[in-house]
Structure 1
Amino acid sequence: MSDSWTSRLLDLLGSPAAMAGSYVESLLPAAAAQGLPVDVLLAEADIEPEQLALPGYRLPLYKAFRLLLAAERHSQDDLTALRLAAAVRPRSFQVLGYAAMSCTTLGEAIQRLQRFEALVWDIGDTRLELQDQWAVLTWQPRLLPWVPRQAVEMALGGWLAFGDWLSEGRARPLRVEFRHELDEAACSALLGCPVQGNAGRHAVIFARELLDLPLREADPHLRSLMDAQGEACLANYRLHSNLANEVRAALCTGLGQGDCSLESTAERLQLSPRMLRRRLSEAGLSLADLQDEVRQDLALLYLRHTDFSLLDIAYLLGFAEQSSFSRAFRRWTGRPPAEYRRENGLQGPEKGHGGPA
């Protein structure tokens, strides 16, 4: 197992970046329609299906990516992410989707995408560049130094599917570009337009005149309501909507430094201990439960992707003894850690993970 790959996974697990649970849930029927074992995929990614249905739930990006990669592994199809993205509809994007749907023109809808994308997932920047008669919609990672290429394909594929739905098939792109290598012919056939791999950017290129294309569901009143709701969600995002993942990231850092106390966690979040305690209580969260979740995620990562001894892993997770770690792992998984490692250990990067996006 390469140190660089382990470092990437640790960076991802220690990031507060998250994806809307509603987005993931909306694509599960499409996964089932493709013959994928949805329950198995969720279990492999350590995702509780009931969580995805909770209003406002933010799925840690680490688990969302694991789910997407597991889907591709089970399907043995490099186009899995693009096929799933074809099912994106307004419901998938929630506030962003309904705000965009109610806009008057495609250009206005793209403005909502740029403004509210973080409410779907908060790892990238979407930019619109105008070049003579062309419009170029680009995406690049912001919070993370890399993302799996499947996630990039899901993002751009979702744009295409949503734009096609909004415009009733009238807003067809001229070309789609990806920075990573891919099967250009197969992707072009699936997306219905030329696709270029090994490009200098992740982008969708279309005729500039399409920005003025009227949309079928234009509703100024609904757009105003969704804009207001979106702005409110953004204003309270970090320490309200995404509080659980912010705390998880702080706890991940704390475990590495040997201090996960309420006081140290609050300091990392630039809050007072009293304020953190209150916000956790208001959100129905427990610092102890969140620490338990982080320990479990880290334990599974270390057992799958490193050759660290069980004693080393126990210390890295803040346990005083290996026996305490073993008892906790049995509680999490129903199995001893040594048995789990024998069956799942030392997994390397899966085909197509790719480098920095």
Structure 2
Amino acid sequence: MKQLALGMIAYAVQRDVDAAQLCKHAGIDPEALKHKTCPPVTAQQLQDLWLNAGRLTNDPLFGLHFAESLRPAALGIVGEIIQSSATVGEALTHAAALTHLITDQCRMEVIRTHKTFTVQLIPHTDPGATPPYAFRQLIDLLLVMVIHELDGLVFEKIIPSAVRLAYAVPDVQEYERVFRCKPLKRAGEYSLVFDSRYWDEPLLTANHQLQGLLLQKVSSLAAQTGSQPATLQTRIYNYLLANSYLGVASLNDMAANFNLSPRSLQRKLREEGVKYQEIADAVRSSLALYYIASGNYPLKDISYMLGYNELSAFTRAFKRWTGSTPVTYQSL
């Protein structure tokens, strides 16, 4: 639970929460948490962390949005899965055995039929015995992590056939945006159902390596900022960069993850003298130069990785950013 706590604190900081204040409310020593020998995070501390993270960010769906941003932070676990898996089915089977690395509150089972396969979370105790808020945040977190990590492993937006939750969700529209289908209430069940066609989909191990490179790039940028509070545009830039192996997020998705309306996000950025599209273009430009310089990716693949369906559209954008075409830049 230590890694989960560290991830929650890091995401809360990205949402402009003071880490020391959050840890104080949860009864956690932030310095001790950084050391391997620190005492385990207790269930009560984790519960207090969930409650106060949601309160300080003013986001009742903190777990949902935290999971949406967790892809790079989960690389350690994904790395273990990659080493022992060749397909989505194998990855999920191995992931089920690694659930304990994230939580001791539940286990994961994968059930396969002819037409579908289901990823189901089984609580170790009666959910009623666990503080409801923390338990629901944890379920949201784990289920969204499954979807988004599969995205990264196959470089495709995987859409569940069904999402089943034992509780009524507070914001159906936002859950549907994140889960990509409308959640259904089903007593005693916490599960994702997928079409069987995904089961034998091969994993793209190179894409996992790309995630790692992007995470290193973001870490180096964070180190350069020192102890100064990051501006909103910097936090958005780093978020987009770290998660860009799945394409650059839209304004609406970014605003939702920061628990803001698109208009509010645009207004806050305007106060910093920048537009969202300018940040997104800066990320695309930086990545385009990075990918071309690496020599590992054909221009057509780079175009797709940056969210352009046509190479011609990427070429026009690249010329606008740099003054030259990708082919010309590649030959320099």
Match of 1:48 among 29, 35, 38: 29
Deviations 1:41-65 (A, max 9, x none): 1111111222332237642222112
User: Superposed, which structure 2 residues align to 1:96-111 within 5 Å?
Assistant: 96-102=77-83, 103-111=85-93
Letter in 2 for 1:175: A
Mapped to 2, the partners of 1:71 and 1:82 lie a distance apart of: 12
Q: Which residue number in structure 1 is paired with residue 117 of structure 2?
A: 135
User: Superposed, which structure 2 residues align to 1:88-237 within 5 Å?
Assistant: 88-89=70-71, 91-92=73-74, 94=76, 96-102=77-83, 103-143=85-125, 145=127, 146-147=129-130, 148-182=135-169, 183-217=171-205
Q: Which residue number in structure 2 is paired with residue 81 of structure 1?
A: 63
Deviations 1:141-172 (A, max 9, x none): 11454432122112212222222222223433
Letter in 2 for 1:67: L
Deviations 1:158-194 (A, max 9, x none): 2222222222234332222211111222210233322
Task: From the superposition, tell whether residues 72 and 197 of structure 1 become closer, same or farther in structure 2 (CA, over 3 Å).
Answer: farther
Contact 1:124–1:139 (CA under 8 A) maintained in structure 2: yes
1:78 shift after superposition:
2.2
Greater relative CO (CA pairs within 8 A, separation 6+) = 1
Deviations 1:286-328 (A, max 9, x none): xxxxxxxxxxxxxxxxxxxxxxxxxxxxxxxxxxxxxxxxxxx
1:202 shift after superposition:
0.4
The secondary structure found in structure 2 opposite 1:212 is coil
Task: From the superposition, tell whether residues 24 and 160 of structure 1 become closer, same or farther in structure 2 (CA, over 3 Å).
Answer: farther
Q: Which residue number in structure 1 is paired with residue 16 of structure 2?
A: 35
Task: From the superposition, tell whether residues 207 and 80 of structure 1 become closer, same or farther in structure 2 (CA, over 3 Å).
Answer: same
Task: From the superposition, tell whether residues 51 and 178 of structure 1 become closer, same or farther in structure 2 (CA, over 3 Å).
Answer: farther
Contact 1:26–1:92 (CA under 8 A) maintained in structure 2: no
TM-score scaled by length of structure 1 = 0.51
The secondary structure found in structure 1 opposite 2:118 is strand
Mapped to 2, the partners of 1:123 and 1:26 lie a distance apart of: 17
1:110 shift after superposition:
0.9
Task: From the superposition, tell whether residues 217 and 52 of structure 1 become closer, same or farther in structure 2 (CA, over 3 Å).
Answer: farther
Letter in 1 for 2:11: A
Mapped to 1, the partners of 2:143 and 2:28 lie a distance apart of: 24
Deviations 1:247-295 (A, max 9, x none): xxxxxxxxxxxxxxxxxxxxxxxxxxxxxxxxxxxxxxxxxxxxxxxxx
Letter in 2 for 1:168: F
The secondary structure found in structure 1 opposite 2:55 is helix
Aligned residues: percent identity? 21
Unaligned runs of 5+ in 1: 1-18, 220-357
Letter in 2 for 1:216: L
Deviations 1:188-244 (A, max 9, x none): 02333222235541001111121211111179xxxxxxxxxxxxxxxxxxxxxxxxx
Task: From the superposition, tell whether residues 198 and 215 of structure 1 become closer, same or farther in structure 2 (CA, over 3 Å).
Answer: same
Letter in 2 for 1:188: E
Contact 1:123–1:144 (CA under 8 A) maintained in structure 2: no
Contact 2:68–2:148 (CA under 8 A) maintained in structure 1: yes
Task: From the superposition, tell whether residues 172 and 107 of structure 1 become closer, same or farther in structure 2 (CA, over 3 Å).
Answer: same
Mapped to 1, the partners of 2:148 and 2:33 lie a distance apart of: 22
Mapped to 1, the partners of 2:123 and 2:93 lie a distance apart of: 18
CA RMSD of aligned residues (A): 2.4
The secondary structure found in structure 2 opposite 1:35 is coil
Q: Which residue number in structure 1 is paired with residue 262 of structure 2?
A: none
TM-score scaled by length of structure 2 = 0.54
Deviations 1:9-56 (A, max 9, x none): xxxxxxxxxx1x223323433222223333221111111222332237
Aligned length: 199
Letter in 2 for 1:33: Q
The secondary structure found in structure 2 opposite 1:127 is strand
Q: Which of these two proteins has the greater Rg computed from alpha carbons?
A: 1
The secondary structure found in structure 2 opposite 1:42 is helix
Contact 1:27–1:88 (CA under 8 A) maintained in structure 2: no
